[in-house]
Amino acid sequence: MSRLIVLDTETTGLSAENGDRIIELGCVELFNRKLTGNDLHIYFNPERESHEDALKVHGLTTDFLRDKPKFAMLANDVVDYLRDAELIIHNAAFDVGFLNKELELAGLPPLRSFVGEITDTLAMAKAVYPGKRNSLDALCDRFGVDRSNRTFHGAKLDAQLLADVYINLTRGQDALLIDIASNEPAAGAVVMIDLRSIELPVLVATEHELAAHEELLLQLDKASRGQTLFRQFDGIAVA
Question: What mean pLDDT value characterizes the chain?
Answer: 85
pLDDT tens per residue across span 151-194: 667 899 999 999 999 999 998 554 333 343 344 454 445 555 55
Q: How far apart are CA 44 and CA 69, in angstroms?
A: 5
CA angle at 231 for the pair 228 and 235, rounded to the nearest 5°:
155
By the 8 A CB rule, do 2 and 29 touch?
A: no
Taking the C-alpha atoms of residue 103 and residue 78, their distance in angstroms, rounded to an integer, is: 10
| This prediction's pTM | 0.71
pLDDT in tens, 42-73: 999 999 999 999 999 999 999 999 999 999 99
Out of 116-125, 154-163, 216-225, which region has the weakest mean confidence (pLDDT)?
216-225
* Burial category of 79 from C-beta neighbours within 10 Å (exposed 0-12, middle 13-18, buried 19 and up): middle
Q: What is the pLDDT of residue 212?
A: 84
Distance of alpha carbon 159 from the chain centroid: 12
Bridge partners (DSSP) of residue 30 are: 4, 35
3-state SS assignment for residue 32 = coil
Q: What confidence category does residue 100 fall into, taking pLDDT thresholds of 50, 70 and 90?
A: very high
CB 5 within 8 A of CB 87: yes
Enumerate domains of the chain plus CATH numbers: 4-176 (3.30.420.10), 201-234 (no CATH)
User: What is the spatial distance between Cα 2 and Cα 162, in angstroms, rounded to a whole number?
Assistant: 18
129: number of CA atoms within 13 Å, CB side?
Answer: 12
Q: What pLDDT is stored for residue 5 in this prediction?
A: 98
Listed in sequence order, the DSSP H helices in the chain are 52-58, 62-65, 71-82, 92-105, 121-128, 136-143, 155-169, 171-176, 207-223, 229-232
* Residues tagged active-site: 153
pLDDT at 179: 40
